[in-house]
Chain A
Amino acid sequence: MRWIRFAVFILIATVLQASLVDVIAVTTLNIKPDLLLIALVFFAIYSSTTEAVLTSFVTGFASDIISTSPMGAQIISYVIFGTLLAYLHRLVAIRKMPYQAAAIFVIGMCVLLSSYFLNSLRGQETITNIYKTAFGTSLYSCVIGPFFFLPCAWWMRLKTYRFSRH
């Protein structure tokens, strides 16, 4: 893993997520794709399990930094589900775009809902539309996510046709 490239990549994704992604928001609910979620799935699939744990932590931290809710919940959710996906990838190779999209959708739902429930455990106020938001965000991310994988792989100098199962 090229960690400096990874740091730059996450930084750009975080700033874009916090600002420019609003341009492509849809519906009155302002549903937008989650670039950091796509990054989580990308690194869980294309890096070793150890690296996947670390990248999940960093993407979770970045997601927490730009979120409006208290920190911590997203780090925990990202690490748990990023690691799970990395282990799952050792058993079932997620090579084709539809599988990658499905992985983004499922991980998106799990991450968004679990971080919401963690926040509610902490005594945060109830958020309305959470299921619609989670579903919409996961769906939007899974539609555009796989198309980002190739440029991401190019930037990270990863070979997408090789699937290491460490």
Chain B
Amino acid sequence: MARKRIKVSRRMLFTWCILAGLILFFSPQTWTNTLQFAFARAFRWPLSVGRNISLAGRTRQYPQNAKTLRDVQYQNYIANLEEQLRQKQEKIELLQGLRDRLYALEGAGLMVADVIKCSIDASRGELIINRGENEGLAIGQYVLGDNSIIGVISGISARQARVKLITDSTFKTDTGINIPRLKVEGMMRGNGNNTAAINLVKHQAKVGDGVFINKKPGFLDAPMIIGRVIKCQKNPDTPLLWDIVVAPACEIETLNVVAVIIMNPEK
């Protein structure tokens, strides 16, 4: 029996396609995230091969006084310890006898995850990692790369999670950041072009100054380095104040492994 051919007019086909787009557009993001995660999971192998090839063609650029990746990691580690020590000393001076945790990650679990996909362009900065709700990850948890904060978990499925990088143009610190050398505090937001900005600061920062994210109960117990100052210029509208441009404390694009900070994990 000959198969009956269904004829659909162009107008009807166009309407159906737009309708399908609208359904996806108005669907909850958690549902559509499932599709995006499914693609990343299904094509994990070719995506990681492609990423490795693109990384191989890229030369690493290290910050000042660092020649190797190990140097960068040590510098960030030392910066974290110095800042924690400084805060510790302040606390000891002010609140004698009060004991507190010495190390930011004491009592925290670190969930190591592989980077499946890295999307960094002019407006967005995002990673997809191979750990999810099943491993205890939750939205808002901080993500470490080379001993520095590189972003927060912004979307999650059972086995994968989306990390919004500090340079993403929609990233904004929900807790304050500080530059210890200047004793200034402020809020930082991503610029998109692999940098972030702290605007309207009272003091001039120097290139290379460490920028630390403040502690956030339940997510981070002590300040940790989030970036370094790469540029400081007068605000065009308010010349008495300064705009600071911050670069991540490590080269995020080249990271293959990151760690998610899970405070007080269930044992």
Contact = CB atoms under 8 A, between A and B. Distances in A.
Given A15-B43, A54-B17, A83-B14, A28 B193 contact: yes
Interface in B240-267: 253
Contact of B50 (A15, A60, A73, A118): A15
Interface in B21-55: 21-27, 29, 32, 35-36, 39, 43, 46-51, 53-54
Interface residues of B, number: 47
B17 A57 contact: yes
Contact of B121 (A54, A65, A122, A133): A133
Chain A interface helix/strand/loop/mixed: helix
A60 B35 CA distance: 14
B36 to A, nearest CB: 6
B157 interface: no
Given A30-B120, A30-B122, A76-B18, A71 B53 contact: no
Contacts of B18: 76, 79-80
Contact of B27 (A15, A72, A79, A118): A72
A126 to B, nearest CB: 7
Contacts of B43: 15, 18
A126 B191 CA distance: 11
Interface in A127-150: 127-130, 132-133, 136
Contacts of B120: 30
A49 B25 contact: no
B17 A56 contact: yes
Given A18-B50, A125-B170, 5 more contacts: A50-B10, A71-B36, A72-B21, A127-B123, A127-B124
Q: Which 6 A-B pairs have the closest CB atoms?
A: A19-B50, A72-B25, A75-B21, A29-B122, A125-B170, A72-B24
